[in-house]
Structure 1
């Protein structure tokens, strides 16, 4: 661990420039529909204040592309933030250090959307220096934005004493435990629609895990690469050579690649559609594969039972509609059961993954569910995240 945490910093009387992710979904009436991202930064804000510091929040909202877009202002989030923190939040549209220092020493301050300036996403040194002038210490608590080299996520860290916030700290500990220094055997479950979006992920995981379960639409591409007819299933036939290369690499690395041995097929993509379970190599020409079958789930469950660490990204089937959520639900339930029993360390992340695990009722039992999307994937791909690297400089 080459980065500092809040425990390593003297914060009394300091303005703590704190990068957070509060890019929450809102409805047409301006009401927050999911406050998870706000809830997850509460420990950081609470600890900064407990140590005598004053949080100065930096955040983005939406994609204003370097222009002031009133409907993407952070000001409407002030009531929700105040409620979550149990203390008033002061909003500043045009920040200056003198205005910040005129506020009480324990104030919580929210600065306007950093992406209103084109200098933010360009990681302009001038903006990084300006942001640094607004605080005495820099705390990055936005792991979900750590894969972006922006002024507020990377540049400013080079100008102030820097540390990770509690959410960032938890994310890094969980991911290091899962990939850097895991308890073995390690199983990775990777699902989703397309192989093309997860080539780097698969390549990196093969070098780090003992068993790699491939599910969802991307499994069809691997089946087809072996000469198996997948009917009308979603399949990237142009990636057959790539899939075979992945399988060859897995053999060379002594990583067991687990593909469906049986599948659930249907003639239409609809909830409650008539379906049947067939062997993986027996999909009817007029049908499509929409889920892994019970024999496949049993194999996955047995693999999980012998594992010590699980990394999960992506569903095993079309989890959005019943009954094609069965494999994902069953495998998730097994992972949750083993985690509850203390037999498995389970880490999961990615938008569809979190939705699938929530739907399966298993999310609360996982060791850690990452709130990050792209950053989680890039970490799993073995890429350096600029926002994390800056904390080590």
Structure 2
């Protein structure tokens, strides 16, 4: 299955190994508030260091627009990384030039150093040849372990792979193998759950999925747009009425490919969107003019669960309702827990991704029970849309 080389194919002993990682972690007042992305890269770093490679970490942080910005320095991350890795992690306050070269020169086998934010140089996002060459001069081997940045053709994600022998790190490998199971060559039936606020952000995704999956469950605010497109009055619900034609064309395409579109048949409604707001469950055809749909109702959840019971594979992106506020989290929590139970029983391959989705699965306490949960946002979405990811394609070459 693997079209790309992994660490199994790499000889890293005594080599300078440039490792592209994702350290774009949430920070408040210089303190890392969520360590998930750092945890994900530890296996790759450890393996290279244990094999006697000299680990040189490349990463971006925030959007400094090609200029140094002390607020977006990676220096605070080096300390956290050192603590989690259980060994010292050096830091170079530039990623190219004499400072970086000097520090790399002094590395011994098994040492780890983090270089400053690659985006402090305009050449990074422009994938400029001079900047790529400057980065490449620091290493003998390139390992990409940042799937979440693979949808961008930047110097440190795509350019380096054209200059040095290149391999997928363990996180990248796990991600690509999980995605292959999810949509590449999945066990059928395949069910996709797509939720979230707006259809406009997921048109490409829906158009790709109707030709790839057996059932497409549409939830969240997006479902309202589909209901409205079929003449259902959705009251004050979040709804993109101007996308009615798009919604109808997706329904039509699904009809041609034999993909069943699953929309809510009942809904939990309220007059205001706040915790503890008075709510009730109604048929979707009976939503009052002054109310808004904030979650799928219990009958809709039963339909989703029936599909999960039939499915061999689940791909999930986006919640089924306004899960941040009780009681509008009920549908998302029920579906998440059921999918997790089926996965644990060995009956379902479940792949999920996207910020809101990860937050919802954590809230349900089941993120650890899914087959794979992707921490990548845009890259996961573009992969689900069927787009080629430059950082992945270049590893295949």
Question: Does the Cα contact within 8 Å between 2:127 and 2:153 map onto a contact in 1?
Answer: yes
Cα separation, 1, equivalents of 2:175 and 2:111 = 27
Q: Give 3-state SS (helix, strand or coil) of 2:244's partner.
A: helix
- Tell me the distance in 2 between the aligned counterparts of 1:130 and 1:280: 59
1 CA distance for matches of 2:25 and 2:106? 30
Give the conservation status (yes or no) of the 8 Å contact 2:221–2:239: yes
Which one of 202, 207, 225 corresponds to residue 221 of structure 1? Answer: 225
Please give the per-residue CA displacement for 1:261-296, whole angstroms capped at 9, x wherever unaligned.
Answer: 110111111111111111111111110000000000
1:105 aligns with 2:105: no
CA contact (8 A) 2:51 2:110 kept: no
Aligned-partner SS, 2:56: strand
Query: Residues 317-348 of structure 1, C-alpha deviation per residue, up to 9 Å, x if partnerless?
Result: 00000000000000111101100100000000
1:70 aligns with 2:70: yes
1:90-140: per-residue Cα shift (whole Å, max 9, x none)? 111234435412222221011111000001000001111111110000000
Q: Hey, what's the Cα distance between the residues in 1 that align with 2:284 and 2:50?
A: 57
Q: 2:373 aligns with which of 365, 369, 372?
A: 369
Give the structure 1 partner of residue 188 of structure 2: 184
Greater shift in the superposed pair: 38-47 or 95-104: 95-104
Structure 1 residue runs without a partner (length 5+): none
Structure 2 equivalent of residue 327 of structure 1: 331
2-structure distance, mates of 1:96, 1:69: 18
TM-score (norm 2): 0.97
Normalising by structure 1, we get a TM-score of 0.98
Q: Does 1:204 align with 2:205?
A: no
Question: Is 1:145 aligned to 2:149, yes or no?
Answer: yes
Alignment match, 1:256: 260
Corresponding residue for residue 44 of structure 1: 44
1:42-81 Cα offsets, whole Å, 9 max, x none, are 0000111122211100001111000110121111212111
Which whole-Å CA distance do the structure 1 matches of 2:360 and 2:254 have between them? Answer: 27
Q: 1:87 aligns to what?
A: 87
- SS at the partner of 1:152? helix
1:129-169 deviation digits (Å, cap 9, x = unpaired): 11111000000000000001100000011000000001000
> Aligned ranges for residues 222-241 of structure 1 at < 5 Å?
222-241=226-245
Which residue in 1 is equivalent to 2:271? Answer: 267
Contact 2:75 2:116 in 1 (8 A): yes
Per-residue deviation at 1:212? Answer: 0.2
C-alpha deviations, 1:181-201, integer Å up to 9, x for none?
Answer: 000000000000000000000
**Matched residue of 1:273: which SS?**
coil
Partner Cα distance (2:71, 2:283) in 1: 52
**2:10 counterpart of 1:5:** no
Look up the SS of the partner of 1:17 in the other structure.
strand
1:56 paired residue number: 56
Question: Number of aligned pairs?
Answer: 392
Question: Which secondary structure does the structure 2 equivalent of 1:330 belong to?
Answer: helix
Three-state SS of the structure 1 residue aligned to 2:193 is strand
Give the drift of 1:356: 0.7
Structure 2 residue aligned with 1:354: 358
Match of 2:384 in 1: 380
Could you tell me how far apart the structure 2 residues matched to 1:42 and 1:337 are?
28
Structural RMSD (CA): 0.9
